[in-house]
Structure 1
Amino acid sequence: MANETPLGVLRRLVDRLVVSNDETALVEGVLGMLVEELGADRGLVLLTDRSGATTTIEAQGPRGKLSAREQAEISRSIVHEVWRSGKALLLEPDIGEGSKSVQALGIACALAAPLRVVGKLEARGVVYVDFRSVDIEIGDDERQLFELATDLLALVMSHRRQVSTIAEDLEAALGRERVPPPSLDQLLASRSLAPLRADIETAVVSDLPLLLLGESGTGKTLLARAVAEASQRMPVVRAMLGAADDLNTITSELFGHEKGSFSGAVAARAGLVSFADGGTLVLDEILNLPPHAQQLLLDFTQFGIYRPLGWSSPEPKRAAVRI
């Protein structure tokens, strides 16, 4: 680092982190840069995946690659010590639990740090570089560069793995065969609906509003959709207005609004009734609507007419909707 400013080194480090799309190439690039910038003899990264399998990535320095025996020694004691401490360590022959491994490896000192995101307890791997010359001095600048590089590498790897996991889950969800909702015949085949079969079959051929009562989770929405499909009144549009108590909000959601009808109404917007025209509008938790909102629905269900919020024309709009 003697011939380059810390800012220049940091810039090159960030460049390494953003240019590679492959995780192995990313790790190799950062490890190679650390070996070069720190004047280390060799470098090693041990990575663990979600299954627990370990991958070894090496960076060859002036002294060549680590032998299988040296890798085993690093894995046996130094990796364990780094994971136990949870922080970057300067390993020297006469200090700490890693001192015996330093002596066994025949090196002057080594730097090692866990690859994990701050706040995450699970380590994803360990970064290791060693120095054979007894004249080498590892100062604060070298340690800070090493720690910064490993922290940034861990953050980028964690982000990429999260994105990869989300993409895999999404791909699996999209590829999974979707189970269609049950038909009316399938629902009526159940013993619990057998006593209501005649009433439901009458509702299929009727244009009158249909009120379904029952405990939460008993299948009211499934039955409403099945009736709509059997009566060929599609599309089915569902409105969740039970928690709303503001008349303007309910009016806008159901019937739409005109531009400038309230603060924030920068453009006209169609309501759910318009989307359900020719089909079925399913109103969940309708009994929880305030009385003034129920009056709006009464006018619509009786005459099929409505006025969006801010509607200035004397003539109302119309929609053919089964509720």
Structure 2
Amino acid sequence: ISGNSNISVSEFILTCLKESEQKDFIGAIFTLIYLVTLFGNLMVMLLIMIDQQLQRPMYLCIVVLSVIDLTCSTTIVLKILAILLFNNVVIPHNACFVQLFILQYMETLEIFLLSLMAFDRFVAINNPLRYSTVMTNKTILASVVALNVLGIVFVGIFTVFVASFSFCSTNILPYCFCDLTAMLSIACFEDARYFILTSSLGAFLIVPTFVIIVFSYMKIITAALKTPNRDGKRKAVSTCFTHLSIVGLFYTSLFFYYVIPASAKPLGSTFSGTIMMVSVVLPPMLNPLIYTFRNKEIKQSIVRIIVRKKAATL
């Protein structure tokens, strides 16, 4: 679609790995990633729902994180697979904005949730005597409800803003899915205020939560280094740095796509597209392993369930 005046867009064209000559191989990798993501997150949710000993604040947060990861991965990866394996590059106008809303909504929830989880660990390590009164299941559930309300309001306003864009020359989006930066790149305006507004809103949401997360983990690491138990100290520091590496991977894309002005990015390049896909696809697959299956209590829960099933069959 081309022209100098505004055009009516009923669908968008997604250009996903268009230069790749190994689409089937890449599609197989994405299929494997999605299946691992699906299995890992469903297993986490099932374990915590079955074992009452795990139904505590931290693990309730992990269940919510698994729901977010599954939703985000399903929304993005299935469309990428449709493009790679079946060359289905077309996405209807309304479906594009639904995908945009879901992705930004899940990212917003995850930002808030990671901050809540960092605060939970901060209280548990630095003020253990008050933990049971500060962090309760009711507190977590109320916080999750509040986060959902904030996310719907914030992302809803943002999506309505993006939906008001008009398009002058093309309906081709330079990514594998509908993304704010891609929409800004083809929208029919040159006014820098749009880019400043979106970057300011992104920074307002992303920077404070990132600071909270890093500050909480630094305090946790400091407290862990003061403990006399060498093995406990090493394990705590290793766990914190592992968590921070996943948080860093997630926040890299957030800074790159929502804080850095769209006009300053190499839009449509292989580099920018790769960053976006990696940061959206990998954390949902890695989170169950990082936050759950390395956890001693989860391992004990798996053993209890296996023993219980064996006993029931005898």
Verify same fold: TM over 0.5. no
Q: Is the strand fraction higher in 1 or 2?
A: 1
TM-score normalised by the chain length of structure 2 = 0.18
TM-score normalised by the chain length of structure 1 = 0.18
Q: Is the helix fraction higher in 1 or 2?
A: 2
Bigger Rg, which one: 1
